[in-house]
Structure 1
Amino acid sequence: MRIAIAGTNSLAVLIAYYIQQETNYHFVLLSRSERPTLEARDFPVLVVDYDDTSTLQHALLGVDVVISTVTGNPQVALIHAAAANRVSRFAPAEFGSTPNTSSEPENDPLDRGRSLAVALLEHYKTTQGMEYTLFICGILYERFAPGGLYQQALSLTTPAAGEGDYILNVRNMTAEAPIWDDDEDLVSLCLTSAQDVARFVVEALEMRQWPTTLSMVGERMSVQSLVALVEEVRGTQMQSYISHNMASLQSEYVLAASMEDSARQMRAVNHIATAMGRFDFREPALNRRFRNIQPVRLRDWLIRTWGSST
């Protein structure tokens, strides 16, 4: 099997690492520029131009599986090139939430081209049998790392992905949390470390068939429990703690829009999506299938990342 991994962010590199360490498959990382530090680690890198169809198709010659960590127009071009080369499987860069079925894509600020990518993949699945799957992992632990996803070189195009942009700020011990949903029930979410996402993706390469979604989870808990866990690990209470329900989240979004505060708007959008259950799912398929993978517990990750005062 030959695998092309589009992108050189931290998740792409982790996937490459586990392919290198745990399989005999051949892989190449597709990059917009030279990456000598990766090549020094024996990671083959091929420079591509996503605006040049012919060179992109050339890069995918002989490739069986494409794993994408690029989004938007580059991913669209990659899907077309994969189809032209009769690639067998494609995993788009749609890690994270479950698909939104409650609104049209143009009304979903979190869509970011996802619906177009899925529509193209569905088209090529129907017309030429190219399998695809959405790897759904919930929220990455690294959202709560120093510097957030940006500092960890993850989701570089995701808005509001810096330190403290989602639910809580571990450094400053402040929280603005979507605690209750529309029915006033406690909101829950699934979380997974980037390392475990990579491990599950690589294991999934062994599957004989790919369904259109494959979910995984490191830990599932209520947002209320997440805040309490951070307080326990840090050994102190939140200095500021705002609890939201759906009504207050909608008000927060309207206020942010009236102030033309785009960062605050995106924070409200992510919190509303959380309260709607976009990052919550039960019975993750990959956990059930690959019981040899024991995901990192969030408590252990927090202690390793931030230290513990308990």
Structure 2
Amino acid sequence: MEVEKQDPPTYHVGSATSRVRFYHTPIKPTHSAPNTILSHQDTSEYTNKYTKMSTIAVAGGTGGIGKTIVEALLQEPKYRVIVLTQSSPKEDPVLKQTQQIQINYNDIDSVVETLEKHAVHTIISAIGIYTDEAAQSQMNLVQAAEKSSVTKRFVPSEYSFIQTEDLLPHDPSIKYWLDAAELLKKTKLQYTRVCPGVLMDYWGMPRVRTNIHQHVIGIDVANCWAGIPGDGNDKMSVTYSYDLAAYIVKLLDLEGWPEFSIFAGDDITYNELLKLAEEARGKNFDVVYDSADNVKAGQVTVPPFLTGISEEEAREMTVLVSRLTIAGAFDLPQERMNALFPDIKPIKMREFLINTWKDEA
């Protein structure tokens, strides 16, 4: 399985590809951004626009959140979109609107040559980082971007929670993203780490429009089942993938980027989500609660309806997401960038569920 071909569900909710944590540090600007803390009252320094057409490269843009970002970019005629891939070009109606370029991440010099040949100004990485090899691919891409004479900006592959060292005991693979962030700090590249919380898409599958791989995150709306960690009252920030992609495109307009770009469509608990899901489906769900002690001990209820993964993989994923949930990892800080882009109206959880499941009630 190629690094960027697929976007495993763990990639967006906090696992060997995790990212969504509880973070209380102010948003700090990165290179070229004003030396201030971003607030809703003082955002003028972040709103200067780029006016000329730029070439945007999406690494891992053939599927998952990467493809969703590509779709959003294609709505903006001021951007030329290329997709960096390790595989041969795909026969896909969306991707055919871009230029798919096959590259070898292990050959940094050739990647530099590609970036310069195509005048890539900004790289948006959506590489599915769930192996050492995939993590190294992104590290190599950062190095290539730094060496390129034309590349100025880099969005690393995270798209979940704010990852910090204190979550390493829950998920050692968080080191992958911490290493990438540390490398970016040492470059002259402007960068931002995008944090939307958990993707709503999981609670709309298989009916909702999405490029994300199907997986059960706590509540299986399709099968009217729920396995809830703790008491169900831990807050989670949630965002629909297409709203996330719209925000990412808007970020490209900003002259300065903060270190963390936090967006959220809604904030909700599992108990609240369960109530909305039952309302949308018009029936009561079969519900199991796994106590916090059991979650910490790795004793969780595995979703009974598995899609494309083994029971052991589902168990590992459930343990990880459950632990992060009760640790408050998915409860993003209220210091968010939504206010910078008032024209984007992210969908709320109630509307998302009703729109998705109205024909199934």
Q: TM-score, normalised by structure 2?
A: 0.73
- Alignment: residue pair count: 289
Identify the match of residue 136 of structure 2 among 73, 89, 97. 73
Do structure 1's residue 48 and structure 2's residue 103 form an aligned pair? yes
Identify the match of residue 237 of structure 1 among 284, 290, 300. 284
1:265/1:163 Cα in 2 relative to 1: closer, same or farther (>3 Å)? closer
Match of 2:256? 209
Matches within 5 A, 1:150-161: 152-154=210-212
For residues 36-68 of structure 1, give each alpha carbon's deviation from its aligned partner in whole angstroms, at most 9, with x where no partner exists: 324774222111122222221122112221100
For the 8 Å contact 2:228–2:288, the answer to whether it is kept is yes
Match of 1:102? 166
Measure the CA separation in 1 of the matches of 2:211 and 2:85. Answer: 14
| Structure 1 residue 262 displacement after superposition | 4.6
Match of 1:193? 240
Match of 1:13? 67
Measure the CA separation in 1 of the matches of 2:204 and 2:360. Answer: 17
For residues 151-178 of structure 1, give each alpha carbon's deviation from its aligned partner in whole angstroms, at most 9, with x where no partner exists: 9543x6xxxxx432x2111122111112
Match of 2:121? 64
Identify the match of residue 247 of structure 1 among 289, 293, 308. 293
* 1:43 aligned partner, one-letter code: T
SS at match of 2:157: coil
| Structure 1 residue 79 displacement after superposition | 0.9
Do structure 1's residue 307 and structure 2's residue 358 form an aligned pair? yes
SS at match of 1:200: helix
For residues 210-234 of structure 1, give each alpha carbon's deviation from its aligned partner in whole angstroms, at most 9, with x where no partner exists: 1110011111111210111111101
1:108/1:6 Cα in 2 relative to 1: closer, same or farther (>3 Å)? same
| Structure 1 residue 131 displacement after superposition | 1.4
Identify the match of residue 83 of structure 2 among 29, 32, 36. 29
Q: Unmatched 5+ residue regions in structure 1? A: 157-161
| Structure 1 residue 278 displacement after superposition | 1.3
Match of 1:286? 337
Measure the CA separation in 2 of the matches of 1:229 and 1:58. Answer: 51
| Structure 1 residue 189 displacement after superposition | 0.2
Measure the CA separation in 1 of the matches of 2:249 and 2:63. Answer: 16
1:236/1:205 Cα in 2 relative to 1: closer, same or farther (>3 Å)? same
Do structure 1's residue 137 and structure 2's residue 196 form an aligned pair? yes
Do structure 1's residue 163 and structure 2's residue 215 form an aligned pair? yes
Large movers: runs of 4+ above 6 Å: none
Measure the CA separation in 1 of the matches of 2:218 and 2:81. Answer: 37
1:266/1:15 Cα in 2 relative to 1: closer, same or farther (>3 Å)? closer
For the 8 Å contact 1:233–1:303, the answer to whether it is kept is yes
SS at match of 1:307: helix
For the 8 Å contact 1:178–1:246, the answer to whether it is kept is yes
| Structure 1 residue 107 displacement after superposition | 5.8
For the 8 Å contact 1:180–1:245, the answer to whether it is kept is yes
For the 8 Å contact 2:294–2:300, the answer to whether it is kept is no
| Structure 1 residue 133 displacement after superposition | 0.8
Greater RCO (Cα-Cα under 8 Å, separation 6 or more): 2
Do structure 1's residue 82 and structure 2's residue 145 form an aligned pair? yes
For the 8 Å contact 2:196–2:264, the answer to whether it is kept is yes
For the 8 Å contact 1:38–1:45, the answer to whether it is kept is no
Match of 2:228? 177
Measure the CA separation in 2 of the matches of 1:53 and 1:2. Answer: 20
Measure the CA separation in 1 of the matches of 2:329 and 2:85. Answer: 31
